[in-house]
Structure 1
Amino acid sequence: MTTVTIIAGGHKIDSRLTGILQFTQEFLEQEKVAVHVIQVHQLPSDALITADFMNQGIIDARQKVEQSDGVIVLSPVFQASYSGIIKTFLDLLPQKSLRSKTVLPLMLGGSYAHLLVMDYALKPVLANLGATNILTGAYVTDNQITKQEDQTYLLDTDSETRITNQLEQLLGGMQ
Structure 2
Amino acid sequence: MKQIIVLSGSPTTYSHTALVLQQISDLLAYRGCNVKKVSVRDVEPETIFNARFDDPQIISIVNDFQNADGIVIGSPVYKGSYTGVLKALIDLFPEDSFKGTPVLPVMVGGSSHHMLAIEYALKPLLSALKGELLQGVYLLDKHVDKTSAPYVRNIDILQRIHKQIEQFIAEMDKNRSFVHVKSE
- TM-score normalised by the shorter chain: which range applies? over 0.9
Deviating runs (4+, > 3 A) in structure 1?
Answer: none
Residues 1:167 and 2:165 aligned together: yes
Q: Is the 8 A contact 1:105 1:138 kept in 2?
A: yes
The alignment yields a C-alpha RMSD, in angstroms, of 1.2
**Distance in 2 between the 1:158 and 1:142 partners?**
15
Tell me what 1:4 maps to. Answer: 4
TM-score w.r.t. length of structure 2: 0.89
Q: CA-to-partner distance for each residue in 1:8-65, whole Å, 9 max, x for gaps?
A: 1011221211220111110010111011111112211100111101212211111111
Gap regions ≥5 residues in structure 1? none
Q: Secondary structure at the match of 1:78?
A: coil
Gap regions ≥5 residues in structure 2? 174-184
Q: Which residues of 2 match residues 53-64 of structure 1 at below 5 A? A: 53-64=53-64
Which amino acid in 2 is paired with 1:161? Q
Deviation at 1:121, TM superposition (A): 1.1
TM-score w.r.t. length of structure 1: 0.93
Q: Is the 8 A contact 1:110 1:142 kept in 2?
A: yes
Count of aligned pairs: 172
Q: Is the 8 A contact 1:40 1:85 kept in 2?
A: yes
Q: Is the 8 A contact 1:16 1:153 kept in 2?
A: no
* Fraction of identical pairs, as percent: 31
Tell me what 1:48 maps to. Answer: 48
Give 1 or 2: higher strand fraction. 1
Q: Larger radius of gyration, structure 1 or 2?
A: 2
Q: Secondary structure at the match of 1:82?
A: coil
Q: Which residues of 2 match residues 19-34 of structure 1 at below 5 A? A: 19-34=19-34
